[in-house]
Amino acid sequence: MQYSTQMLAQNKVWAYEAALADSTLFGRISRGQSPRVLWFGCSDSRVPAESVTGCGLGDLFVHRNIANIVSPDDPSAMSVIEYAVVALQVEEIVVCGHYGCGGVRASLLPAPDELPHVGRRIGPLRALACRCGGELDRLADVDAKTNRLAELNVLEQVRSLRAMDVIRDAPQPPKIHGWIFDTRSGLIKVLDPTDE
């Protein structure tokens, strides 16, 4: 059996159980969305935003890409940010990276020829790794370097968001948080010192 067939069967069970737990759920979410938070995360399958935060349907507006990179040159990311801030008027934006990120690790290694799109996507990470080379070089191994660069990347994306006109010009600019998910413990760590 294909995994997609199993997924469809699991969806039926999930929908039944969700409606049993809250008979108003599907009627409520079918009328529209009003999430309070934009989640900007990594595409990694181990870090689903709703699961790791305990949020439900409609709680988060989500954008995910390799290594949670916020780039003004990325029309997909920028349209999500614009819609979240202007149309949905989210109150908060969370940039959440994670330890053991494959995109971050790849930025520390030579670019493979067979993944040119990934190579372009992680270009900003390679540049960040170069700028922070002294700090990263003092770390013992590639895992420690990857995890520290993942933290630095989140902080860089927070800075990028805070500098965007769409954020600064909003009538009520959303608060922006920098977090990292620890795949070893399941816990989220706050990285941004202004986020207490």
Q: Which residues are catalytic?
A: 42, 44, 46, 98, 101
Beta strands 175-181; 188-190: pairing state: antiparallel
Q: Smallest Cα–Cα separation from 46: which of 190, 189, 191, 185?
A: 185
Measured between its terminal Cα atoms, the distance across the chain in Å is 48
Which among 132, 138, 169, 139 is positioned nearest to 154, based on CA atoms?
A: 132
Residues 6+ apart with CB under 8 A from 18: 25, 26, 57
Q: Which two tokens stand for residue 76?
A: 């997909």
- 51/47 Cα distance (integer angstroms): 8
| 42 and 68 Cβ atoms separated by less than 8 Å | yes
- DSSP conformation letters of 32-66: ----SEEEEEE--TT--HHHHHT--TTSEEEEEEG
